[in-house]
Amino acid sequence: MDFSSKKNKLNNKKKVAVVGGGLVGGLNACFLAKRGFEVTVFESREDIRCAKTVKGKSINLALSHRGRQALKHVGMEDKIVSNGIPMHARMIHSVNGKCSPIPYGRKGQYILSVGRANLNKELLTAAEAYPNTQLNFNHKLLDWNPETGTMTFLGPDGTEKDFQADLIVGCDGAFSATRKQFLRRSRFDYSQTYIPHGYLELTMPPRNGDFAMKPNFLHIWPRNTFMMIALPNMDKTFTCTLFMPFEEFEKITTGDELMAHFQKYFQDSIPLFGVDVLKRDFFQLPAQAMVSVKCSPHHLNEKCILMGDAAHAVVPFYGQGMNAGFEDCLVFDEILDQFDEDLSAVLPEYSRVRVPDDHAICDLAMYNYIEMRAHVNSRYFLFRKYLDNV
Ligand code: FAD
């Protein structure tokens, strides 16, 4: 970099608004603050670090190499990894209760189970530690103006407030309000698909003070048209997620019907949950929908860029939604360097590079929707056959 551009950079601290203080917004705030931008985060919910109840898409998530690389860049990797549980293999539970592992990769390779709430809290705390970052909670983006970059938020006192920025980074999730302006533009491609399955989370409590199942695995009960998975938590519980077509969920309306379903398909899990816990969790909340969103481009003029689920919501079966969102932050950071923070060049280049990769993640996730609940069964038999022959 020559001296004049460096001087220009120092004198020109860009004002950046990050809309959404979830996982990707939190990490992005760290990346942008680290580079010296004036960063203001607007999150519609209350501060998760003070909230009594935390609502989110899932209790825990699988963090992989892709996400770790991005965390590493802002010095967060070790902290997050130390609060994660390595999962070296999938553990397949057959209908008769037999358990068989299928490794994810070579010896020593693993993904990590991390708690969503803790990860989000750590990212917000890290972002807030930069003197050039300000976090605003209970601020919901209503709309923004693509010509001026002026955003209108609904504040905590119920009044509307305007805020202007040089760059708006939309990290406000699958139902992004930032994205609405993109939809009004010509030549913006957008598609969203709901899958017929819903999901519901169940907690498997510890047993005699320890994990009820082997902790270093991602447990899967594949049953072709539906499945259950379980990821371990630091408090020795497992979060089990049941994925089934909505019409199957709707058939289960009583405790007896639930137990009959579990007796037939997930018998080995019943004593591990306990009947009361199972009935309590199952009927606590309705099953949640899952949506896949693709769009292109990811930028609008020199003013706005979409990242994370706002740009590419994926179905959760590939375990890469958050990881891909974290990678978005890293790729954007690299392109900012490459084009010396010239937003008129950075934003189109980001869309050019990132859209094909994000679309690929959406497609792979949709493919894995079938892989995990059905093909994993046949893969397991092939794997057993292979082991029998060596
Ligand atoms: P979000 O997490 O949705 O955060 C968006 C934030 O924006 C929220 O805090 C929201 O309150 C805020 N917001 C929304 N609207 C506004 C507004 N108008 N103004 C201001 N703020 C606003 N991914 C993985 O990598 N690994 C996994 O194992 C995994 N498991 C999953 C399991 C399930 C069941 C599901 C549903 C998803 C899973 N994912 C996983 C995907 C992952 O949850 C998402 O990709 C990730 O949460 C995306 O982060 P985000 O910050 O882009 O969006």
Asked if 319 contacts 112 with a C-beta cutoff of 8 angstroms, the reply is: no
State if residue 41 touches ligand 1 by the CB under 6 angstroms criterion: no
State if residue 327 touches ligand 1 by the CB under 6 angstroms criterion: no
Does residue 36 come out as left (phi exceeding 0), alpha (psi in the -120 to 50 range) or beta?
left
pLDDT tens for each residue of 145-187:
998 999 999 999 999 999 999 999 999 999 999 999 999 999 9
Distance 47 CA to ligand 1 centre (A): 15
Mutate to test the pocket of ligand 1, among 48, 85, 114, 172 (most ligand atoms within 8 A of CB): 172
Q: Give this prediction's pTM.
A: 0.93
Distance 22 CA to ligand 1 centre (A): 6
Which residue is closest in CA terms to ligand 1's atom 47?
A: 322
Asked if 173 contacts 56 with a C-beta cutoff of 8 angstroms, the reply is: no
pLDDT tens for each residue of 57-102:
789 999 999 999 999 999 999 999 999 999 999 999 999 999 999 9
State if residue 320 touches ligand 1 by the CB under 6 angstroms criterion: yes
Instruction: Point out which residues pair with 322 in neighbouring strands.
Output: none
State if residue 21 touches ligand 1 by the CB under 6 angstroms criterion: yes
The chain-wide mean pLDDT, for the chain, equals 92
Q: Looking at ligand 1, which atom is closest to the CA of residue 67?
A: 25
**Which H helix or E strand runs over 283?**
helix 275-284
State if residue 61 touches ligand 1 by the CB under 6 angstroms criterion: yes
Distance 272 CA to ligand 1 centre (A): 29
In this predicted structure, what is the pLDDT of residue 121?
97
Mutate to test the pocket of ligand 1, among 42, 58, 65 (most ligand atoms within 8 A of CB): 58
Asked if 166 contacts 73 with a C-beta cutoff of 8 angstroms, the reply is: no
State if residue 58 touches ligand 1 by the CB under 6 angstroms criterion: yes
pLDDT tens for each residue of 13-47:
899 999 999 999 999 999 999 999 999 999 999 99
In terms of C-beta density within 10 A (0-12 exposed, 13-18 middle, 19 or more buried), how is residue 115 classed? Answer: buried
ipTM above 0.90, yes or no: yes
State if residue 57 touches ligand 1 by the CB under 6 angstroms criterion: yes
In whole angstroms, how far apart are CA 161 and each of 26, 42, 102, 140? 22, 12, 53, 10
Beta strands in the chain (DSSP E): 15-19, 38-42, 60-63, 85-87, 89-93, 99-103, 111-115, 133-136, 140-144, 150-154, 160-164, 167-170, 189-204, 217-222, 227-232, 238-245, 288-296, 299-300, 304-306
- Asked if the peptide bond before residue 101 counts as cis, ω within 30 degrees of 0, the response is no
State if residue 326 touches ligand 1 by the CB under 6 angstroms criterion: no
Report the percentage of the chain scoring pLDDT > 70: 92
State if residue 200 touches ligand 1 by the CB under 6 angstroms criterion: no
Distance 122 CA to ligand 1 centre (A): 15
DSSP letter at 207 equals B
User: String of b and e for 226-265 (b: at least 16 CB within 10 Å)?
Assistant: bbbbbbbbeebbbbbbbbbeeebbeebeeeeebbebbeeb
